Chains A and B, each alone.
Chain A
Amino acid sequence: MDHPVIRGVRFFMAHTPGLVRHGSKPDREIARDPEVWESIKSHLRSFDDVVGYAPHQVLLGNRTPESLAELDQPWYENVAREAPRNGPHGELVSEEEFYGLLKAGDDFDLLWLDEEFAERSRELLVKHPRVPAADLEKIVGVPPSQIEEMLDDSEKGAKPLQLRDGSTIGLIQHGLLEDPSLAPDILLENLAVKATGTMALRLVMDDFSIAPDQLQYIIGSGEEAIGDRYNRGGGNLAKTVAEAAGCIEATGSDVKAFCCAPVHAMVVAGSLATSGVFPEIAVIGGCSLAKLGMKFGGHLAKDIPVMEDILVGFAVLMGPDDGVSPRLRLDSIGRHTVGAGSVQQAIIEALVQKPLENMGLSFTDIDKYSTEMHNPEITDTAGSGNVPRTNYRLIAAIAAARGDIPAGNDARDEFVAMHGMMGFSPTQGHVASAVPYLAHALDSLRSGESKYTMFLAKGSLFLGRMTHLSDGESFVLEANPAAR
């Protein structure tokens, strides 16, 4: 069997404290009580605090996930000063820059920026190597009186866009007043998905010397629902991003599977690359704006920063075996089948044990498992638990049941410490699900430091109220045998 390779992955992060009010939970709570925004505002982080936050430095590739275990918690109180906003795995931009990027992707003039702010944003982006002149030309504003007039007209339903300090710098309009699928919040969410996905794709193409016109196919794996009232969720963010990134020889489509869509998409993309249908292929995932500030209540109750203030997009380059890049083993795909049911033991057996048995490997042969990588500092402080640790302990339990490790808490903890890691991803849904460790895994597999990494992701299908099932898929990435 031939196996595809993953050539590279890059993450694009945007610090968007002003957009926290447009997250689903804050939006509903602020509508009930406008004072909620004042409370949230007083707990939003500065750009410097976000850049120096250790989990973000891990995602940027400036420090390893393992190094987090050595850093005193809470991490938000141990912020590095003068930390870089760029790293080998990606970059992080400010909200002033991000609003400009949103405008650059706004082909229907849905988003208005104040003319002075637009100029400021454009000046910040002029030197950015991955923002082309054509995008800069689109970052134009309107007089402040025009924004005020539109926001004052309640029938128009436009929503204000603000900075962290609460100052209004623009607005987002309805796409069509009588169409709830084109409401301002939905359009803002989709513009943010487009901007983050596009910038991540530009990053990975630049860093791995792929010209935009080399890509033949792009698969979107985000959770956005693009479409009007007759085709809500119709999608194809992939082709939208392909156009924005200048991939004129590409088309694309989206794979929808809640949070585990990126893993499904990489398996599909790898199969298309290996079969020769589309050898030059990418998987992208834009951000999840709806999740901004999702757990603000828990953070405010503890008087700690509202840490869900980051949007993340990613892009993965894949292709046929090049004899160098780590291989996605197509004989290692773990599937949470319908018949597997919803008991955790059955899920882990389907996603981990069965693929390992197919490959003739034991649980301890996998150097690292990348599962739900949500930053526990965000979730644990709001009562949602330490999701990576829960999943690692489940894997350890099945490893013990199979006899790969001894039974008991000591062996479990040793397995988790050696084969797991602390969560470091912003709570960005599909982005946090297995994907965050991908860049570190590629480094480790290329350098010979490790041989196998398993990626397993879960999807919450039950949230759509059509089935009680969840979903999951997994694969093993191995160091390329030809390069060992």
Chain B
Amino acid sequence: MSELHDEVSELERQSATAARLFDIRRIIGGLFTLYGVIVTVAGLTASDADLRKAQGVNINLWTGLGMLALGVFFLAWLALRPAAAEPDGRPDGQDDGRGGTAG
């Protein structure tokens, strides 16, 4: 019990994830904003055949706008509540493991 406990605690002290792992909100926000723009444009230029296939709904437009909204939401969340431990420019180690992000 205590042997395992000590070993893992020591590994936790040396761990670099909290200090150096980037914030996934940046990736979700970026990709969904990009996807949103692409799919929205596909919706704006939809052909009659596209509309007929999708039961008369401009599904590309609505999906694109939805994805755009999600992407912007994540980017805004990131901007308003940045992670406590910045992934950039932190020297190795010496992070006390506080590395919490919002949420």
The answer on A and B forming one complex is no
| B residues at A contact (CB < 8 Å) | none
Question: Chain A residues in contact with chain B, CB under 8 A?
Answer: none
